[in-house]
Amino acid sequence: MLLYSNLKTEIIMKKQIRIINLLIIFVLSVSTLMAGSHNIRKESFKVNGECEMCKKRIEKAVKVDGVEAAVWNPDTKIMKVKYDADKITLDKIEHLVATAGYDTEKEKGSDAAYNNLPKCCQYRPAK
């Protein structure tokens, strides 16, 4: 009777282990599918600015959910962004830059924010 009981317990434990393994595989599969469902895009656009201080402000302006990377080159005036199009649009990214006071190809920077930039960062012709 003891042998039969031990055998029965062992069979039940093996079934439980198989169920746990199947659940683990299921959870890993679902999380892999969800991680791969992002719509990652790489784009570039022009942003007016002058220096390394501008670079810091411009890149900081787009540190939001959905933007994975953003690099602005002061020499070429080109901003390169890598973003999840399911979370944010390129237009929204350009709007964030404009809100910080910098002109993009599609949107003029906020005058209030532009006027608060240090004089060395103001790139518009004096009026």
- Residue 126 has a pLDDT of 78
Residue ranges in 1-127 assigned as alpha helix (H): 2-35, 52-61, 90-99, 111-115
Interatomic CA distance for residues 95 and 111, integer angstroms: 13
pTM of the model: 0.70
Helices 52-61 & 90-99 angle (0-180, nearest 10): 130
- Residue 97 has a pLDDT of 98
Q: What is the pLDDT along the chain (127 residues), one digit of tens a residue?
A: 555 566 677 777 778 777 776 677 776 666 655 655 579 999 999 999 999 999 999 999 999 999 999 999 999 999 999 999 999 999 999 999 999 999 999 999 999 999 999 999 999 987 6
The total number of residues written for the chain in this structure = 127
- Residue 38 has a pLDDT of 77
- Residue 9 has a pLDDT of 76
Amino acid letter, residue 65: D
Q: Give the largest Cα separation in the chain, rounded.
A: 100
From 42, 113, 101, 98, select the one nearest 71 (Cα to Cα). Answer: 42
Query: Two tokens at 11?
Result: 């069979």
